[in-house]
Amino acid sequence: MGTGGLLSVNELAKRYGATVALQSLTMDVAPHEVHAILGENGAGKSTLVKILSGVVRANGGTMRLDGIEYIPHSIVDARRAGVSTAFQELSLLPNLTVAENLLLPNVSGGPFKMSRRGETVDAARQVLSKFNVTDIDPRSRVEDLSLAEKQRVEIVRAFSHEPRLLILDEPTAALPDTTWLFDQIRRLTETGVAILYISHRLGEVRELCQRATVLRNGVSTGTVDLEGINDDEIFRMMVGRAPEARFPGRTASIAERPVALEGRNLAAGRLHDVSFTLQQGAILGVAALEGQGQVELFRALAGLDPISGGTILVDGKPTAIASPQQAMAAGISYVPEERKIEGVFSGLSTAANVSLPKIMENSKAGFLTYAQDARAITEPAKAVELAERYFGFRMNDLSGGNQQKAVLARALMSDARCLVMFDPTRGVDVGTKQAIYNMMRAFADKGGAILVYSSELAELVNLCDACLVIYGGRIAAEVPRAELSEEHLLSAAHGHVDDAPLRVAS
């Protein structure tokens, strides 16, 4: 692919006061091309997406579409110019239906009237069908969908605007299988659509993309042909050094340690008769395909969903957990699946978000000053490698990786003895993953207990002391550390243990 393609970006810059988010970004994207944007969280990827999508305005540099100056003033303005985005932090309205979200802002008739509703549903069903999504009911409210279903609706909405340039920001972070998305991408590029693909998963990038532009600290360090460069070279362009060892080793033995958290015959939603024990100092993994009951397990332990049967024990004592406050009082801190919706207060500062567990404890008036916030969160922020310069930023202005670091720092701030973590590295870069792995290992080595679900089996194999596999709402396998392998976990997650298919009770 040569220069001067569909999109041409030259010396693009964006500053927020004294903070430089983008300093000098130059790149081009050609028709029919899938072009990757690579870089650590905070490198400027999210800022680039917002500028191209019309969410924010650049302070310097130029953008051109088909040789014509491109300065979008809003998302709608960008769509009119032929640029459509599926955002990593989903932009769907949760209180509306799938149909209403897909057709906004083009639903006519003012407030949704009964006479229009059938037309809206039919039109949305046609949109979903066009992109081979037949298992999502357009009448469903978005808030009732799983995260993977929401992700597909977000992507379909971006497809439906028939863009010339399609921006996909971490589109597979919540998808259990990439087949559907990759098929749609290949179909679109055959028609001449150019795709800007932002992902931390180099395997996906190599499968889909022809070229990649690499960002570091707001500067494009180069555009490379992916066939001519290896992963270590890409990593050096991203961070300026060779990759580190990813998974820290365990330094403390958990033999004969007391049990910190136990579930006995738990039932909640799709979850049935689930029992487990989690020792102090241990990291217990959970593997499962989408929709097998793992969400219900974690939300029940966090006090977000009621249990319909069984008992939760903390430090050997039966404990009623019917709210997040009760979970926190019992020493359990939850790191949620959807950080934007469940994990952060986007309008508050990073310092305020992290210090929330201590606000009432440390403040006479029920709030902390910025100086108090900053002092209080210094240690937990260091534990997750969250830089102090971000303390005064609104959470909404942080990259996804730094938002996740803030969520994890808040969990540590709560003085929790047990961390219940749902896919904590979803959609973050390799450097942030390393920080999360190091934090988890340090927490466990100090006697803390961690229950963690991950959609990346390699994490479970390399981080965990043992792993539960949930299938059909039940524990299909309990795999000790010595037997952990991706193949073993994948087989059990599909309902096979020792090559024998499991039966799922109704």
- Looking at the structure, tell me whether residues 300 and 320 fall in a common domain: yes
Taking residues 102-117, report their average pLDDT: 56
Q: 131 lies in a domain?
A: yes
- Looking at the structure, tell me whether residues 283 and 405 fall in a common domain: no
| pLDDT number for residue 377 | 86
Q: 339 lies in a domain?
A: no
Q: 274 lies in a domain?
A: yes
Q: 118 lies in a domain?
A: yes
- Looking at the structure, tell me whether residues 274 and 397 fall in a common domain: no
* Beta-carbon count within 10 A of 320 CB: 11
Number of domains in the chain: 3
Under the banding of pLDDT at 50, 70 and 90, the label for residue 373 is low
Taking residues 164-176, report their average pLDDT: 91
- In terms of Cα–Cα distance, which of 230, 236, 241, 169 is closest to 199? 169
- Looking at the structure, tell me whether residues 308 and 171 fall in a common domain: no
- Looking at the structure, tell me whether residues 203 and 277 fall in a common domain: no
- Looking at the structure, tell me whether residues 99 and 232 fall in a common domain: yes
Taking residues 284-306, report their average pLDDT: 93
Among the ranges given (75-79, 166-170, 250-254, 467-471), the one the predictor scored with the smallest mean pLDDT: 250-254
CB 348 within 8 A of CB 395: yes
CB 492 within 8 A of CB 469: yes
- Looking at the structure, tell me whether residues 406 and 454 fall in a common domain: no
Assessment of whether the complete model's pTM goes beyond 0.75: no
- Looking at the structure, tell me whether residues 292 and 369 fall in a common domain: no
- Looking at the structure, tell me whether residues 141 and 218 fall in a common domain: yes
Q: 39 lies in a domain?
A: yes
Q: Which of 239, 264, 280 is the last residue of a domain?
A: 239
pLDDT in tens, 229-245: 998 888 889 877 665 55
Give ∠ CA 450-454-457 in degrees, rounded to 5.
Answer: 115
- Looking at the structure, tell me whether residues 409 and 422 fall in a common domain: no
Q: Which of 392, 415, 438 is the last residue of a domain?
A: 415
Res 463 pLDDT > 50: yes
CB 304 within 8 A of CB 324: yes
Residue 299: partners with Cβ closer than 8 Å, 6 or more residues away: 268, 305
- Looking at the structure, tell me whether residues 290 and 362 fall in a common domain: no
- In terms of Cα–Cα distance, which of 258, 271, 277, 275 is closest to 299? 271
Domain ranges, residue 369: 347-415
- Looking at the structure, tell me whether residues 470 and 434 fall in a common domain: yes
Round to whole Å and give the CA distance between 421 and 298.
8
Q: Which of 239, 263, 278 is the last residue of a domain?
A: 239
pLDDT in tens, 391-450: 888 888 888 888 899 999 999 988 899 999 999 998 787 788 889 999 999 999 999 999
59: domain CATH number is: 3.40.50.300
Res 368 pLDDT > 60: no
- In terms of Cα–Cα distance, which of 341, 321, 344, 318 is closest to 332? 321
Q: 321 lies in a domain?
A: yes
| pLDDT number for residue 110 | 41
